[in-house]
Amino acid sequence: MTYELQLDEFFKDPKNRSYAANIINKLTAQHKHGLIAKIRNRGPAEMADRIHEIVGYLVDDAIEEKRYTSSILPTIVSPQLAPNFWFKDEKEPTREEIYRLLYLILTGLYRGSYIVNLDNAAPPLREDFRRSLIQEAIIIFPEGGIGGGVDVKKMFMHLRLGRFPIKEFGFTLLILSCFARWLKSKIEKPEFLKRIEEIGLLQVMPDLGVDDSISLVFFDIPRQKKEMHIFPRLKDFIVKWYYDYLMGAEDIDLLIFLSSLYITDRNYQEISDSLMNKFIYYLLRGYINSELLTNIINIKVRYELKERKRRIYPIQRMREILRRI
């Protein structure tokens, strides 16, 4: 099924049209005149009702310009950072490629201007995962064009977290962890547990729909500079960092470790957010930035020993993390 047809299928549900309209309103905020501006001025219900028309306009505009226009995404990652993606040799995008990009944006899991999605995932996998998030009320649909997106508090509850940095890449890691939680519900079936025991988790992952081609895609679509980041080799990352959790542990060592390093004190939170966001970015790219990790630990120790008025909150799961590095 083409991405155009997949998007059409997604738009059949009025709730999905409302959900996507909230995203496309942010994506096209720079349109002050013309068709999209006129539709936006008539309110969120009009945006949802005419979302097919808006998407068609964006696709035709990109085809006419022979490039990915600023209405879709002004910042394009290099092919070196995304070898299995479609931006190669700066060729003119095809209609299918433009629809693929819009599909990833408009069906993604969002919070504010942040959007996360799975690329190269089979439609049934993506739909099943999304359905589970709706059932758990992690995905919230807008009401009257207001609100909607991902309920972070619900994610915290399901992932057994009390706190966590939710800047760009912290949010991305939380979405990935929800995906791992969904995978765990599949792995717990006897037939998968038996096969994992026989041949190992890495070899069973493709049977769950997670093969080497699947990537995690992050978009940030504020009014000004929009960004896109692609994190390939998702299967290897999941097996490395979520193995114990997938095989029965109650929580995720990586999240507990990062949560214990995070400082919410107002005098430290800004630098804690910044350092951890950068560290998680490199982590998602597949390696540990030791300089950033050292700085994070040093600030954590300084805060606990000098500033904290209540009992010390220790760094947790350090041993479990070190054995995976």
Check residues 29 and 260 and name the one with the higher pLDDT: 260
Is residue 88's pLDDT more than 60?
no
Is residue 213, in this structure, part of any structural domain at all? no
Alpha helix positions (H), the chain? 3-11, 14-27, 35-41, 44-49, 51-65, 95-106, 123-135, 152-158, 168-187, 190-199, 201-204, 234-246, 253-261, 269-285, 290-302, 318-322
Is residue 65's pLDDT more than 80?
no
Report the alpha-carbon distance of residue 45 to residue 265 in Å, rounded: 41
Taking alpha carbons only, the member of 311, 321, 301 closest to residue 258 is: 321
Is residue 153, in this structure, part of any structural domain at all? no
List pLDDT tens digits, range 122-179.
999 999 999 999 999 999 998 876 788 999 999 999 999 999 999 999 999 999 999 9
Report the alpha-carbon distance of residue 27 to residue 212 in Å, rounded: 30
73 falls in which pLDDT band (50, 70, 90)?
low
Percent of the chain at pLDDT exceeding 90: 71
Query: For the chain, how many structural domains are there in total?
Result: 1
Taking alpha carbons only, the member of 184, 176, 228 closest to residue 204 is: 184
Phi, psi of 118 (to 5 degrees): -100, 125
Check residues 194 and 273 and name the one with the higher pLDDT: 273
pLDDT at 152: 96
Q: Which residues pair with 210 in a beta bridge?
A: none
Is residue 7, in this structure, part of any structural domain at all? yes
Range of the domain at 52: 1-107
pLDDT at 145: 67
Is residue 80's pLDDT more than 80?
no
Dig out the tokens for 55 from the structure.
């998407």
Say which residues have a Cβ less than 8 Å from residue 278's Cβ, sequence separation at least 6.
169, 289, 292
Report the alpha-carbon distance of residue 195 to residue 73 in Å, rounded: 42
Is residue 249, in this structure, part of any structural domain at all? no
The three-point CA angle 161-120-20 to 5° equals: 70
pLDDT at 194: 87
**Mean pLDDT, all residues of the chain:** 90
Say which residues have a Cβ less than 8 Å from residue 139's Cβ, sequence separation at least 6.
19, 109, 130, 133, 149, 150, 151
pLDDT at 69: 64
| The residue type at 119 | D
Is residue 316, in this structure, part of any structural domain at all? no
Is residue 32, in this structure, part of any structural domain at all? yes
Is residue 72, in this structure, part of any structural domain at all? yes
**Helix (H, G, I), strand (E, B), or coil: what is residue 306?**
helix
Most confident stretch, 24-33, 224-233, 274-283: 274-283
Is residue 102, in this structure, part of any structural domain at all? yes
List pLDDT tens digits, range 267-307.
999 999 999 999 999 999 999 999 999 999 999 999 998 87
